[in-house]
Amino acid sequence: MKVLGVDIGGSGVKGAIVDTRTGKMLTSRSRMQTPVPATPKALAQALKKLADHFDWHGPIGCGMPGPIKGGRLVLAHNLDKSWVGVKASLMFSQATGCPTHVVNDADAAGLAEMTFGAGKGKAGVVVIVTLGTGIGSSIFVDGRLLPNTELGQFELRGKRAELRASARIRKERSLSWGRWAKRLQEYFDMVELLLWPDLVIVGGGVSRRADKFLPKIHLRAKIAPARFRNEAGLIGAALYAARTVRARQR
């Protein structure tokens, strides 16, 4: 099945058409800046522009930052607060004229990595962490997703973890790779203490520079960069939509 996969982040909205049988992007990725403020109306228009760009009329899978219940955003740490309680799936479907299925962005990235990427075939507890504007997370146990985990929100040195160790903070504070890695070490130490994973996969755009910081982080678990890097979210969102469509057809 071909699906338009979209990844909405705090800084950018990215999309591409994905072959959900293989996980391959069939088009080049299109990207635009996330509107400021990132209100429901503004993001709905951004999604419509993406659909128009690809002349797309089929299903859309959309990853968004924050826990999602019944297509509604429950929290909005990196989007406008007016999103809370809004049924994003319905708003996006109305704006684009395409059936749109919404999933937490880190859960989407995890689906891509577990199906086709660094977590493929891995049993036990696998934690995927995405480092970007914030810190997203997904947890899989023997290949099954525990949805809507928010491992960027626990406290680290008196702040939410993503306010100390996200990729955005590294840039804003002009942290060297070594200094940032020390913050990440504290973060991943806490993740390991809480969950005792067998594998940790690190994604987000910064994962393309994984050689600069991952070797400085030492865990009991194996730690590896995401195969799909910053494309994992949109590929996984497309997978989520395809699986949702198939489930409803049964």
Confidence of residue 3 (pLDDT cuts 50, 70, 90): very high
Predicted confidence at residue 10, as pLDDT, reads 84
Q: Which domains does the chain have, with CATH numbers?
A: 2-107+231-249 (3.30.420.40), 121-226 (3.30.420.40)
Mean pLDDT confidence for 147-153: 95
Confidence of residue 250 (pLDDT cuts 50, 70, 90): confident
* Owner of token pair 């840039």: 171
Weakest-pLDDT range from 43-52, 77-86, 152-161, 236-245: 77-86
Distance CA 169, CA 171 (A): 5
Predicted confidence at residue 77, as pLDDT, reads 76
Predicted confidence at residue 40, as pLDDT, reads 95
Q: In this model, does residue 137 exceed pLDDT 90?
A: yes
